[in-house]
Amino acid sequence: MTAQLSEAPSDASRKLPWWPLLVLSAAAFATVTVELLPASLLLGLSDDLDVTESTAGLLVTAWALTIAVASVPLTRLTARVPRRHLVPFLLLLLALATAGTALAPSYGWALTSRMVAASTHGVFWSLLVPTVATLVPSAVLGRAVSVVLAGPALAGIIGIPLGAAIGEGVGWRASFALLAGLLVAASLAVRSLPLQDSPIPVARQGGRDPATRAVLAVAFAGGLVLTGHFMLYTYIAPLLQQFGGYAAAARTALLLVFGLAGLIGIAVSGPLSDRFPRQALGWVSAAFAGSAASLALLDVNLVMAIIVIALWGVLIGLLPPVLQTRLLRIASPGREAAAGAVGIAVLNIGIAAGAAFGGFTVDIWNAGALPIVAAAVITVAAVGLLGIGARRDRRSEAALTDQPAARAQDGVDE
């Protein structure tokens, strides 16, 4: 009886607060749909705003660059605002900026509204995973993060196709107006949640955060993995069409396989992060390198293409939750939002760098060279992350406890 009683609290502590997590997941779904939708509506945007398609494409580029530049300073600027007020406000401001895009009378107006939306989006995403950490114990943090990040994955499978269909049928402005309304609803729902602020920041040693070096090292390596991924993903159309030789129907089926496989990766990411908090990121990165290289087999036949595309999809589903959870765990208590901001900046730098390096690779060689070049980039990151994990394996397991001092030391030892 005593043993059963002692186990009960532990079992209870592992239960997830599903309603708050699902609300945050829905909010993340809406924000990522707003982020990615313009790429599917470029023709309508360019015609209506009387600009070229390449100029309209700057709405996507400007978004990524704005987040990369603004996320960290804006997150620091708003650090003292209570999250129960700040998170709903950010969603409301994002809704207003999205409505501004829907009502834009000119391209300049649309670009400005998108940059405002991007700045808000960056702060929201810097706070998202740290906010999840205040809702659950450390032992199930990975699972909780995977639930919330299922929203963005569904944005690619449901949100973007639905928004594009509405845009093509009614007009691109209707899609943005609908998203603005969805964001308002998300803001109201999040306002009802029992959000808590992070712990008081630990004292800095010698005037600097003791975990800064660890956060930056892991973020940089994660950024290299993302750069390799976006080298491939940005040019997935020529990779499938020109290198693989697949017709439109086959390409559509392969993209669907990629999206569904990503959901599997997200589902696996939580248990993996919680069971192997230090090693998971290195393992995923190493597997990602192998997956990237395996895309060189795309042109063998359709069955092989399905296998390698599915493996790639699983791994990109795994990577963001595992990376974000790792950054959160090595951050000093009270500085989780800053680590989240670094992670979001790295993601968007990876998007821009991957697109640039991918274009350079295609210009110099051809689309068929992308898998090998991307695998080489990812391998460099994987070696570094596996080295970090190996060093940590030799440290005391006491750093996995929820004690602030232990978590701070985890950041120092990295």
The pLDDT of residue 213:
85
Phi/psi at 334 (5° precision): 90, -10
Could you tell me if 186 and 47 lie in one domain? yes
Any domain includes 163: yes
The pLDDT of residue 204:
53
Query: Which residues on neighbouring strands pair with residue 205, listed in sequence order?
Result: 208
Could you tell me if 148 and 296 lie in one domain? no
Range of the domain at 107: 17-191
Q: Which of 191, 224, 250 is the last residue of a domain?
A: 191
The pLDDT of residue 198:
65
Could you tell me if 378 and 334 lie in one domain? yes
User: Residue 218 and residue 220: Cα distance in Å, rounded?
Assistant: 5
The pLDDT of residue 280:
93
pLDDT in tens, 19-74: 999 999 999 999 999 988 887 788 888 889 998 877 887 887 788 889 888 888 99
Contact 101, 114 (CB under 8 A): yes
Any domain includes 205: no
Tokens of 336: 């989780």
The pLDDT of residue 397:
37
The pLDDT of residue 201:
56
Is the Cα torsion angle 356, 358, 363, 364 positive or negative in sign?
positive
Could you tell me if 136 and 266 lie in one domain? no
The pLDDT of residue 308:
96
Could you tell me if 136 and 257 lie in one domain? no
Structural domains in the chain (count): 2
Mean pLDDT of the region 233-239: 82
Could you tell me if 187 and 287 lie in one domain? no
Any domain includes 6: no
What single-letter DSSP state applies at residue 43?
Answer: H
Any domain includes 201: no
Any domain includes 12: no
CA 95 vs. chain centroid, Å, equals: 20
> Is the confidence at residue 399, as pLDDT, over 80?
no
Tokens of 42: 């470029």
Contact 225, 285 (CB under 8 A): yes
Burial label, 159 (beta-carbon count in 10 A; 0-12, 13-18, 19+): buried
CB-CB neighbours of 273 under 10 Å: 30
- Cβ partners under 8 Å of residue 202, min gap 6: 210, 332, 333, 334, 335, 404, 408
The confidence band for 390, taking pLDDT boundaries of 50, 70 and 90, is: low
> Is the confidence at residue 110, as pLDDT, over 80?
yes
Could you tell me if 154 and 242 lie in one domain? no
Contact 231, 357 (CB under 8 A): yes
Question: Which CATH number do you get for residue 146?
Answer: 1.20.1250.20
The pLDDT of residue 248:
82
What's the longest Cα–Cα distance across the chain?
Answer: 75
**Alpha-helical regions (H) of 134-242:** 141-148, 150-154, 160-169, 172-191, 212-234, 236-238
Could you tell me if 253 and 168 lie in one domain? no
Mean pLDDT of the region 391-396: 44
Rounded to 10°, the helix 18-40/141-148 angle is 40
The confidence band for 8, taking pLDDT boundaries of 50, 70 and 90, is: very low
**Residue 205, helix vs strand vs coil:** strand
Rg (CA), the chain: 21
The pLDDT of residue 402:
43
Residue 412's nearest CA partner among 394, 392, 397, 384 is 392
Average confidence score pLDDT of the chain? 85
The pLDDT of residue 410:
42
Tokens of 67: 């987040």
